[in-house]
Amino acid sequence: MEQEDAAGYDRARIPFFPAVKMLSVMRIHLSVPTAALHSDLRQSLRLAMQLGVHGVQFDLRSEVTPGRFGETARRQLLHELSERGLTAGSAHFPLRSPLTEQDRQEERLAALRQAIEFAGRLKIRRMTIRPGTVPESETPEHALLAGLLNELALGANHHGVTLCLIPSGDSAETLKQLLNQVKSGPVSVDADLASWVLAGQSVTEELRALFGWIGHLEARDAARGYGSRGQETPIGRGEIDWDEVAGLLNEMAFTGWVNVSRREGADRFGDIQRGVQSLQNLFAGGLAGA
């Protein structure tokens, strides 16, 4: 009879990755997005603690927002994190339009500035955003994007926050060219591995090409072949070679946050739980606190 854990999840379904011993030299921090665990934030924090991760990622647009969390609520949230042995590892601010879109641009930028300031007060050091496809170089649109990122990075640096850009099918060279134009504060790449698979890009080639620029990593898997674009899958069931990813992170001496997420599927919490356990086994001695 197959064994199930207390939550009713079949342990036989958890992908097994042999531990990579060389990873003991790095310190990986695992997090999960609270918005994907439960609609109630306190329940999400309890579940994150049960998963055995180091921290959580907050959605600063619709979940943990400046308007809902005044000073008292902010302190209470930090206290609840501490009580559960968790850290606010990163924040995400979903944009509804590209950063350079002229329509409602000032409103968009004002909301981003407010989120960055709020992230700093929550002691969050990484905030992920998807600015949209990088325009071709030597165009007014490219210059506009670089200018906006310089403005935002300056404010983020003031609050102790690093912006991590989620690519939208852009090549590593295009991203590096853009990032090299941001001089006002730190900015890096949020490596969303599943997005690379779905865009037909090589995960390992992109990681190698972005050596030194990775500030955050989204642990999602995906496979092409389900229709024209493909689809996200549970970790270990897609096209990503996680052993190779782990080896590359070791080469990079990566010490940042690996956010285990799931945006599709009927059992998102179960898939996240199994993904966390898989990566805990994979990183073995390389996990922070191990």
Angle made by CA atoms 64, 169, 149, in degrees to the nearest 5 = 55
For the record, the structure tokens of 235 come out as 């970790």
Token pair 């674009």: residue: 229
pLDDT of residue 243: 95
- Categorize the per-residue pLDDT at 58 as very low, low, confident or very high, splitting at 50, 70 and 90: very high
pLDDT of residue 226: 56
Look up residue 66 and give its DSSP letter.
Answer: T
Would the pLDDT of 270 be above 90?
Answer: yes
pLDDT of residue 227: 57
Beta-bridge partner residues of 232: 222
Q: Cα 25 to the chain's mean position, in Å?
A: 22
* Mean pLDDT across the chain: 89
Helix (H) or strand (E) holding 187: strand 187-192
Residues 6 or more apart whose CB falls under 8 angstroms from that of 140 comprise none
| Torsion angle, alpha carbons of 279, 40, 112, 170, to 10 | 30
For the record, the structure tokens of 130 come out as 């998807």
pLDDT of residue 225: 77
The pTM assigned to this predicted structure is 0.88
pLDDT of residue 229: 75
Residues 241, 204: contact at Cβ < 8 Å? yes
Span 210-225, pLDDT tens digits: 999 999 999 999 998 7
Beta-bridge partner residues of 192: 218
- Categorize the per-residue pLDDT at 284 as very low, low, confident or very high, splitting at 50, 70 and 90: confident
Token pair 């972005």: residue: 210
pLDDT of residue 28: 86
Residues 99, 148: contact at Cβ < 8 Å? yes
Would the pLDDT of 26 be above 60?
Answer: no
DSSP string over 195-235? HHHHTT--HHHHHHHTTTTEEEEEE-EEES-STTT-EEE-T
Span 142-181, pLDDT tens digits: 999 999 999 999 999 999 999 999 999 999 999 999 999 9
Lowest mean pLDDT among 10-14, 45-49, 73-77: 10-14
Would the pLDDT of 7 be above 50?
Answer: no
pLDDT of residue 127: 98
pLDDT of residue 34: 97
Would the pLDDT of 276 be above 50?
Answer: yes
Look up residue 58 and give its DSSP letter.
Answer: E
What span, in angstroms and rounded, lies between the C-alpha atoms of 172 and 210?
6
pLDDT of residue 47: 97
Helix (H) or strand (E) holding 278: helix 268-283
Percentage, residues of the chain above pLDDT 90: 83
The residues spanned by each domain of the chain are 19-286
Closest CA to 150 of 140, 159, 163, 137: 163
Span 227-256, pLDDT tens digits: 567 899 999 999 999 999 999 999 999 999
Fold of 19-286: TIM Barrel (3.20.20)
